[in-house]
Every structure is written in C-alpha cells, then in structure tokens.
Chains A and B, each alone.
Chain A
Amino acid sequence: MAHVSSTLPPALRRKRRREAARTAAFLSPWLIGFGFFFLYPLLSTVYFSFMNYDGFAAPTFVGLRNWDFVFTKYPSFWQGMGNTLWLVAVMVTLRVAFGLGVGLLVTKVKTGSGFFRTAFYLPYLAPPVAATMAFAFLLNPGTGPVNHLLGEIGLPQPGWFTDPSWSKPALTMLAMWGIGDLMVIFMAALLDVPREQYEAAELDGTSAPQRFRFVTLPNIAPIVVFAVVTGVIQAMQYYTQAIVAGKVASGVIGGSGQQFEPGYPHGSTWTLPQMVYNLGFQRFDTGSACVVAIILFAISMAFTSLLMRRRAGFLNSED
C-alpha cells in the first residue's frame, strides 16, 4: 500500500493529503470529545488502579495491591456484585416485560388512549430522588398506606425497604413504576408492525399468542434488544434510588460516630456504583475505586457484546 502510494504522481498525492486533512478536520470534534471524555478517563482509571492515591498526595505505584484488596480483603465487594447482578437479571427483565406489556395495552385501547399514555408516562418525569422518597413513604412498614391496605385485606405486610429480602423487590417496583420511556419506545415499534402481516396471520387461523410470537416479536426484536442493552447499562450504573431509599429507610442522617450505612438494610441495596463512590470519596482510596470501576466497565462491555452478538445472529436468521 505504501509502495503504491509513493508511486502516485505528486498532484494526486497532494490531493490525497488534502482529503485526509479535510477528513481529520471533520472528525476532530468527535476525536477531541472521544479523547477527553472517554479515552482519557478510561486510561486514567486503569492507571490509578495500580496506584496508591488518596486524592491529595502524589500517587505511588503499588502493583496489584488494589486488585488484591478489592477481591480478597473487602468483604462488601462480593455482596455488591451479587446485588448488582440481581438487579441486572431481575429488574431489567421485568422492566422490559412490563414496558412491552404496557406498550401493547395502550396501543390496543380504543377510547381514552391519550389518558392512559399520559398516565403511564408521567411517573417517568418524576425526579429519581423525589420518586424514591415517595415510594419510601408509601411502603413505610409502620405508617405507609400500602401496608395499611394489605393489613385491611388480611395479607402479610412486608418490611419493604427495611427488610433485606424485600428491599430489592421494592426497588424493582419503583423501576417498573417509571416505565414511561420504554412504553413510548415499544409503542412506536408496535405501531410500525405492518397491518397486512397480522391480516395474513389471521387468515391462516392463528391465535393471538401465535400472532404475538410469529408476527409482533420478530418485527420489534431490534427494539427489545435495544431495551435490554440500555437496561443492562442502566442497572450497572444503579446508584441514586438505592442510596436514597437506604438513607430514608434507615433514618440515619450521618455524622461523627454515626456513619450512614450504604446498602441498608444489611447491605441488600449495596451496588457497585455506590462502592466506587464510597471507596473513592469517603475512604479516600482512589485506586480501589478505579478497580471497581474497571470491573463495572468490563461486565457492562461483556453483557453488551454478548447481547449484540445474539442480536446479530437472531436478525440474520430472521432476515
């Protein structure tokens, strides 16, 4: 290639150089953004994962010490990893299923569809902190209306955010309440499915579940994959709702001699992003925080790559 290039006439070489320069100029905004906001932070994170750095003094090289600490001497790590993977598996699955279900429902409603679309979309607009505090109030075991109602009809009254076995399901309920974004995306995809395919399937005598399986699902498959991929990324970054719910339910304001317990109750809402903040900004251990950030990044990449590969195979087979 280089040999061919060097044999080109000077005028053509100059033209190619100009084209390359023009291309680089057009690409430069993206390159600068990519460099500053992705490549530099990523490389820095890898760099600091091998350093002892408290955020103040100059960092010193410590080899794999931070990695060893996170994996073998920081007992909360594995609990946080388990919780995060639980949220990825359960919360994402339920959110996608519920979002699709609501999307189907509002596309089928003949009268008052505008009302239902608005009703399901509005919760999505609520700021996460306010929504979480509202849920903590509704699900308060002692004074919340939900448990009051459950008690009235003779059902068990869970501890919700104060019970380690109910805290993650409570967070999942909160996530499903704010399903508006997925509903809109699925609604658009469902309305794009060609009507003639349904008509042909009906003429073939298919049932409603069969039409969903063989007509609807293949048509909206890319959207389902999109919802799962973005859902997994969101779940891997899950921070605000978990920490607010834990703080409100624990009743602990925090202060000297009374540290706020991240992951309340009993570490059940402790996630990897909380760990990054806790290690980096509360324990001043930037190196270990970077290790957890890299693990988070690696898992997100692995999930996303896997899903994208599956998607490619699926679409090829369908196409």
Chain B
Amino acid sequence: MDLTRRHRRSLAGITAAVCATLLASACTGTNSGGGQDGSASGQDVTITFWHGWSQDNEVKAINDNVAAFEKLHPNIHVKVVGNIADDKAQQALRAGGPDAPDVVSSFSTDNVGKFCSSHVWADLAPMLAKDGVDPAKTFPAAMLKYSQYQGNQCSLPLLGDAYGLFYNKTAFAAAGITAPPRTFGEFAEDAAKLTVTDGDSYKQLGFMPNYHGYETAIAHYLGQYGSTYFGPDGKSDIATDPTVAAALGWQKQLVDRLGGFDKLEKYRTSFGDEFSAKNPFTTGQVAMSLDGEWRTASLAEDKPDFEWATAPFPVPDDQASTYGRGYQTGTIVGIANGSRKQTAAWTFVKYLTTDTDAVVSFANAIHNVPSTLAALDSPKLEADPNFRTFVDVAKNPNSSTTPASVNGGAYQVSLQNLSYAVESGQQNDLRAGLTATAKEIDDAIAQAK
C-alpha cells in the first residue's frame, strides 16, 4: 500500500531527526578528566591499567611490579588488563566511560605524537614539576625525546630497547677477524670476508643489508648517523640532511658488494621467523646482525653451536668519534586525559617509570634496557658483558631515535618506500627521490593537522 504524502513527510522527518541525533553523538569529543580522586588523603581508589605484554614471563613481571606498588600504596588498587594493542586502547580512550583505562602503555613510540597533540593522554609536565622530578636528569635524552611531542610530555619511558651488533665469534676467527668493526668501512670489509657463496646463493652471509632483513630498517641505520628527520620549522629535512643520502648510498653499495639485491632478497626468503630459534643469526646463516638487546636472552636460551658476542653497531667513517651510539626505542606509558583518577594514576605511573628498584627489577625480568639514568647505573641491574653493550648504548648521549610525529609513523613509511626503491634499483636519482619524499611527508603532516 502506498503511504500518503503526509505519512511520507512524517517518516522522512523522523529519519532526519534520528540521523541528526546520531551524527551529533558521533561528533562528541573526549570528556576532560578530573585530578582530585581522594587517593592522596588515603581514600581507596581503583585504577585500570592497560598494557600490551602477553608472554607469561612478561605478564608475571608486570604483575609483580603492580603488586609491589600496591604494597607501597595500600589504598590504590590496580586493575590490570594485558595484551592490548594500540588500536583497541585508542578506541577505548575515545569512547571513555567507567571501563576505559586510566593508565595505558604502548610498545610503539610512533603514536606519541597523536596521543600528545590530540590531548587524549594527559600532559605529565605539571605532575613531574609538582613532585620535583626533572625529566632531563631522570631519563636518557633519546628516550625522553620519543616520549614527548612539541614540548608536550604526555608519556614517559617504561623500559627501552637499544640496538647494536651481534657477531659470530667463531666465524670471525675462521675469517681471521680479531675484533668487531667500529666504522662502516671496516664493517663492509668484514661482511665481505665473512661471506661464503654457495652456487647462486650463500653458505654464510656476512651481513644481510636489505631493508627487509628483519631489524635492518632505514631508521635503524639512520640511528648510527644521528639523522634528525625534521628541521626546526617542523618540515622534513631528509632531503637537506646529508646523512640520509649518505645512509641510503652506503646501504646500496653494501647490497651491490655482497651479491646484489635480487640474490640477497632470495636468500632472505630462506630465513625463519625473526623471533624464534630460526632467526638467521642463531642458525648461522648470517655472521653479523643489527638487533636489539632482547636477542641476548633469546641466544642464551637457544644456545647456537658457535660463540657469539655483542658490540655497538659501527658508525660512518666520518663520525668515528661517535662509536658507541645506537638507535633507541621502547615502551611508553601515559595517563588518559579523561581519567577521573589522575592523582592515583600519576602515583602509579611515577612508581613504574621513576622508582629505580621497580625499573631495575622489571628490566631484569623481561631483559629490556632500563629507562632511567639511575637504573642504568644500578648495581642491582643484571647485565653480563653482552647485555652491558646495550646498557652503554642507552647511556650514550649520541644515541638517537625516531621523533614523534602528528600522524604516527607515516613519515617513516614514506622514507621506507623510498629506501626499498633505492636498494632494488627502481629509483636511481637519489636527490629527486629524497625531494619528492620530503614533500610527501610534509603534505601528509599538513593534512593531519
């Protein structure tokens, strides 16, 4: 049966009203939170803490840390929710409500720019100042850098990762190499000496330089150069910073010297999972690798049939004096801006990130680098010589990181895409490629603002 015009109008009106209401509700922003939760005066408060750890030993370690905190602060109770990815935390913070987290940790420092600029995580600077914590004197410079965006300290480091060189001492001895390389020049020579071909493949490769060779990302190489990524005006400076072109050129030379992109890439596809005993360094497929401190624990557990050791990753020949530096990243933790229990949340975050014993015991438990200067120097830190390499990299003032950006890691993807094109020979005009990529990065950042 046909509806009359009046009925149709009524129906259209109702539909429009429903749509308008729904659209309006979709546009609602995050509620601002409150700080006075009574915890300072001893009132019982329960806060919710979301983190991403999922392995049994990691979950036990963080739970032990929480238990120690609750013992120190009996009126603050922490409800822990683990195995949470950034995407899920973002949606929960956006939605708010009683079940939303008060404290959130993230494995990716790339999202700090968005968390800070959107104010979804609270600025911790006033809380640090109120409690007399000087961030510059508490945290290593690189770690402090990746936990803030344009002066907004919306997160703090909670353990870190540092990168260095793992080398096969047995293979070194067989090739007559007596010490780990300190410069890229020495490194290339050693990589060539350690390479043993097998038909159109390799019996042993000195080093896998391809950008998909697990941790050999362009950003990790650039950590050895101290590249800045952005100028003081906030624009991409990859086309003007000579170290970026130098890094891309050096990697390409090494690719060509070790057999060429196609041959190396085919060999790469024979590698097992990075985070398993089939890692190519563990299996002896590569004699040197660029990797993080967590590998020391994996190697100790997997017990490869050769002797291995660690050292800082080499630096460019023209920056030999900076030897000892490395790329750094880590876990960050922040407080939801919408939380109504920010006093208790801050007490917890301060404990997790600045209490030396808490940081050291957590680092010991999950084999990550401590994230405060005091913890790095703590005698309680369990660090054999191989792990000590990474502690020293974290303490090195020349160590660097990838800075926070308003659109997450988009600028890294743009640079990565260029690096893939350069190593495979698709982009031979490096200058033009860098200029176009810098523009792409600037356009994307302007779009995100």
Contacts and interface: CB of A to CB of B under 8 A. Distances in A.
Given A251-B214, A252-B212, A257 B417 contact: no
A57 to B, nearest CB: 5
B267 A258 contact: no
Contacts of B7: 20
A78 interface: no
B298 interface: no
Given A35-B15, A140-B269, A285-B448, A1 B4 contact: yes
Interface residues of B, number: 71
Nearest to B269: A142
A169 interface: no
Given A140-B269, A142-B270, A251-B268, A256 B4 contact: no
B322 interface: no
Contacts of B219: 257-258
B308 to A, nearest CB: 21
Interface string A144-162: 0000000000000001001
Nearest to B405: A283
B27 A162 contact: no
Interface stretch (B62-70, B309-317, B408-416): B408-416
Contacts of B443: 69, 73-74
B271 A40 contact: no
B119 interface: yes
Contacts of A282: 408-410
Contact of B94 (A2, A55, A59): A55
B1 A255 contact: no
B266 interface: yes
Contacts of A312: none
A227 B19 CA distance: 34
Interface in B410-449: 410, 412-413, 416-417, 420-421, 424, 426, 440, 443-444, 447-448
Interface stretch (B102-110, B189-197, B245-253, B350-358): B102-110
A281 B89 CA distance: 12
A284 interface: yes
A282 B114 CA distance: 10
Contacts of B408: 282-284
A213 interface: no
Nearest to A277: B87
B420 A266 contact: yes
Given A43-B19, A266-B420, A255 B329 contact: yes
Given A35-B15, A283-B448, A259 B27 contact: no
A47 B18 CA distance: 15
A57 B118 contact: yes
A266 B413 contact: no
Contacts of B11: 24
A219 B327 CA distance: 66
A256 B417 contact: no
Interface in A289-312: none
A141 B269 contact: yes
Contact of A142 (B28, B114, B266, B407): B266
Contact of A256 (B266, B402, B440): B402
A250 B11 CA distance: 53
Contacts of B426: 266
A255 B108 contact: yes
20 contacts: A43-B19, A44-B22, A44-B26, A55-B118, A56-B114, A74-B443, A140-B269, A141-B269, A162-B265, A256-B329, A256-B401, A256-B402, A256-B409, A257-B219, A257-B220, A258-B215, A265-B420, A266-B420, A282-B410, A285-B448
Interface of B: 1, 3-7, 11, 15, 18-19, 22-23, 26-30, 87, 90, 93-94, 107-110, 114, 118-120, 146, 161, 201, 212-215, 217, 219-220, 223, 265-271, 274-275, 327, 329-330, 401-402, 407-410, 412-413, 416-417, 420-421, 424, 426, 440, 443-444, 447-448
